[in-house]
Amino acid sequence: MATMAFDRTPAAPAESPDNKVYFDGCRAGKLLLGRCKDTGKLFHYPRHVSPFTLSNNVEFVEAKGTGEIYSWSVARGKEPFCVAYVKLDEGPIMLTNIVECDLDALKCGMKVKVTFKASEGEGAPVPMFVPA
Amino acid sequence: MKNPAYIVGAFEHPTRKAEDKSTAQLHAEVAFGALQDAGLSASDIDGYFCAGDAPGMGGLSMIDYMGLTKLRHYDTTESGGSSYVIHVGHAVEAILQGKCNIALITLAGRPRAEGMQTGTAVRSFGAGVPDEPFEIPYGRTIATMHAMVATRHMYEFGTTSEQLAWIKVAASHHAQHNPHAMLPKVVTVEDVLNSPMVADPLHRLDCCVISDGGGALIVARPEIAKSLKRPLVGVKGWGEAYKHQSAGAIDLTYSAARFSGAMAFEKAGVKPADIKYASIYDSFTISVLVQLEDLGFCEKGQGGRFVADGNLISGVGRLPFNTDGGGLCNNHPSNRGGMTKVIEAVRQARGEAHPKVQVPNADLVLANGKGGNLGTRHGCGTVILERE
């Protein structure tokens, strides 16, 4: 028997000078990663400091928005929903929700693709994933 | 005297719901209890260690409240529930460096009286935490973050819910002998599996209790320890380590105990097989399993097999653990289990655990604490204690 994920409205992300580029990307329907220009390595969550060298020699690059579930759980409240880590095809793993899905059919390795979900109030939309 | 410093006082508050006491009172009561246990007084304390549960700016209000007038050294290292295990190591180092002679470590809190939904509510550490905007919109909780470690462990290593349940079963076998335990009833694997799912694959009985209370420890230099009347419990090894999200290269299957444990074992010059009793941080059953692997009690991925069939039950298995019932059944004061882990390890080393769970000749014991999110942002502290 299928148990559909509850269609919850996410809390608005707290925007800051550091993460504004990322959430502006979300407003434009783009999922951004950080890229350290010293090492060429990608990272999530994006910020203006490289987690590899601590320099500010970083840029933001768009991810394809596809990946697979690395791990998942279902919060079993009255309105169950899935919290997951998704491994993007580019490599980094990010925390997210899997939405519009059967909560009884979730598996590590399941292919997923990004969707942007409106958050509360004037908040930026946030990237979530649906089965691909 | 073989060790650089000794745990000369230990006290666990008996309350589990402190509606009639403030957090400051609880800190003072556990401090007094540990001083009485040691045979010392407040005026002997010249080092104080506390973490984020202490009300006020760092420990300044508690130093004032408790009247600690002789302080020469003070440390507020905050690493969640592992803080107090890390504090033991820091106290030893401070004593070695001549910064203090007698160190007091306190923990206290009252989340139960305050009605806190510790594991199932979205918690924030306030404005400006850089990672939270990438997490809070997703409604992540302590329970779901730990649950994802279990999901991945099951996926990579074939660990089962039955195996995780054995950890709770073992804790419950111990808790039945503890008159203060919140959950003193012995449970079965089936009881755990039949309890409601909180966050797949963790059931309600895979989770620790929410309780009030606290605990305190006194660490002293060797010549002071020798002058007191308590059994000599030396700090033989200690280590601390911190793990993070690795910029997105996340690997949920291990904890920082891999490194804090290795440091502690190296300092102590002993091996996991030498340990007679282990206190393992047990916010959830999966927390225990991952730490046991990382501390080297079994190979990575073999934790499920290691904990099954009562292997953690005192008098039954190879590695008796959390003989007070642990956070899973006894007490998880202030949502921070590291203090009670050290206290029960001290009881075991002294031979003062409940007779039904006391490990014979427990002359080498270990305590491990973990604070923060298992798998990603957390700190671990390990101590190895020796009875002389």
- Comparing alpha-carbon positions, the chain B residue that sits nearest to A97 is B138
A15 touches chain B (CB under 8 A): yes
Q: How many residues are present in chain A? A: 132
Q: What is the mean pLDDT of chain B?
A: 97
Question: What pLDDT sits at residue B119?
Answer: 85
Torsion of CA A100, A102, A107, A112, to 10 degrees: -20
Residue B252: pLDDT band with limits 50, 70, 90: very high
- Comparing alpha-carbon positions, the chain B residue that sits nearest to A48 is B130
3-state secondary structure of B54: coil
Query: In the predicted model, is pLDDT for residue B138 greater than 80?
Result: yes
Average pLDDT for residues A59-70, to the nearest whole number?
98
Report whether A97 contacts B148 (CB < 8 A).
Answer: no
B235 touches chain A (CB under 8 A): no
Cβ contacts from A onto B, under 8 A: 118
Closest-CA residue to B145 (of B283, B241, B249, B52): B283
Q: Is there a contact between A14 and B132 if contact means CB atoms under 8 Å apart?
A: yes
Closest-CA residue to B327 (of B345, B314, B340): B340
Question: What pLDDT sits at residue B157?
Answer: 98
3-state DSSP of B101-147: CEEEEEEEECCCCCCCCCCCCCCCCCCCCCCHHHCHHHCCCHHHHHH
Those residues with Cβ within 8 angstroms of residue B273's Cβ, 6 or more apart along the chain or in another chain: none
Residue A2: pLDDT band with limits 50, 70, 90: confident
pLDDT per residue as tens digits for the range B301-323: 999 999 999 999 999 999 999 99
pLDDT per residue as tens digits for the range B197-218: 999 999 999 999 999 999 999 9
Q: Is there a contact between A75 and B143 if contact means CB atoms under 8 Å apart?
A: yes
Question: What pLDDT sits at residue B126?
Answer: 85
Two tokens, residue B210: 């929410």
Whole-model pTM over 0.95: yes
Two tokens, residue B372: 């923060």
Residue A1: pLDDT band with limits 50, 70, 90: low
In angstroms, the Cα distances linking B34 to A15, B51, B260, B343 are 46, 17, 26, 10
Q: What burial class does residue B170 get, using C-beta atoms within 10 Å of its C-beta: 0-12 exposed, 13-18 middle, 19+ buried?
A: buried
Domains along chain A with CATH numbers: 20-131 (2.40.50.840)
Residue B118: pLDDT band with limits 50, 70, 90: confident
pLDDT per residue as tens digits for the range B143-194: 999 999 999 999 999 999 999 999 999 999 999 999 999 999 999 999 999 9
Query: In the predicted model, is pLDDT for residue A13 greater than 80?
Result: yes
Distance CA(B13)–CA(B31), nearest Å, equals 10
Residues in chain B closer than 8 A to A72 (CB atoms): 148, 151, 200
pLDDT per residue as tens digits for the range B376-387: 999 999 999 999
- Residue B103 CA from chain centroid, whole number: 19
Average pLDDT for residues A30-51, to the nearest whole number?
98
A129 touches chain B (CB under 8 A): no
In angstroms, the Cα distances linking B215 to B92, B187, B338, B354 are 18, 27, 10, 18
Domain residue spans of chain B: 6-114+208-387
CA–CA–CA angle A86, A90, A91 (5° rounding): 60
Question: What pLDDT sits at residue B125?
Answer: 87
Q: Is there a contact between A83 and B144 if contact means CB atoms under 8 Å apart?
A: yes
How far apart are the CA of A98 and the nearest CA of chain B, in angstroms?
10
Distance CA(A66)–CA(A94), nearest Å, equals 12
Average pLDDT for residues A64-70, to the nearest whole number?
98
Q: What letter represents residue B131's amino acid?
A: D
Two tokens, residue B141: 């909780």
- Residue B96 CA from chain centroid, whole number: 24
CATH of B6-114+208-387, one of 3.90.79.10, 1.20.1050.10, 3.40.47.10, 3.90.850.10: 3.40.47.10
ipTM over 0.90: yes
Peptide bond preceding A45: is omega within 30 degrees of 0, i.e. cis?
A: yes
B377 touches chain A (CB under 8 A): no
Distance CA(B203)–CA(B147), nearest Å, equals 10
Query: In the predicted model, is pLDDT for residue B64 greater than 90?
Result: yes
Residue A10: pLDDT band with limits 50, 70, 90: very high
